[in-house]
Amino acid sequence: MIQSIRSVPSDFYANNQGSAISISSDGRFVYAANRGHNSIAVFAVDSETGHLTLLQLIGTEGHWPRDFSLDPSEAFLVAANEESGNLTLFARDQQTGRLTLLQGSVSVPYPVCVKFLSYTQR
């Protein structure tokens, strides 16, 4: 193990469970969902040591983020809040890794997985 790091604030003691995790394709950022704290943690990856630094905690605008996914361009992240039944859309800054809320309440009953599919019409 290289490092152990919290994905929620040090003063958060309520129930929290990690769920989805994703690494940007350039390897510079790690994203982790927190069920309980209802947030996405954004970490920067040190390219020399592999150590993580917490950059941002952003609320998912719902309860119990079960899954999330970066779109193929990695310009957006969609989080699925299972217990509140909604999807949340974030813009992703590809230079800083930080997320910005774009849309917080797309209603979907009990979403548990986010996948992006490419479609080619023939």
Return the residue matching tokens 């800054």. Answer: 93
Task: Show me where the domains of the chain are located.
Answer: 19-107
* Total-model pTM: 0.92
Rounded mean pLDDT, 13-39: 95
Return the residue matching tokens 């800083």. Answer: 96
Q: Name the residue with higher pLDDT: 13 or 78.
A: 78
- CA 55 to chain CA centroid, Å, is 12
16 Cβ contact list (under 8 Å, min separation 6): 7, 8, 34, 35, 36, 37
Rounded mean pLDDT, 3-21: 91
Over residues 61-116, the pLDDT tens digits come to: 999 999 999 999 999 999 999 999 999 999 999 999 999 999 878 999 999 999 99
What count of residues does the chain have? 122
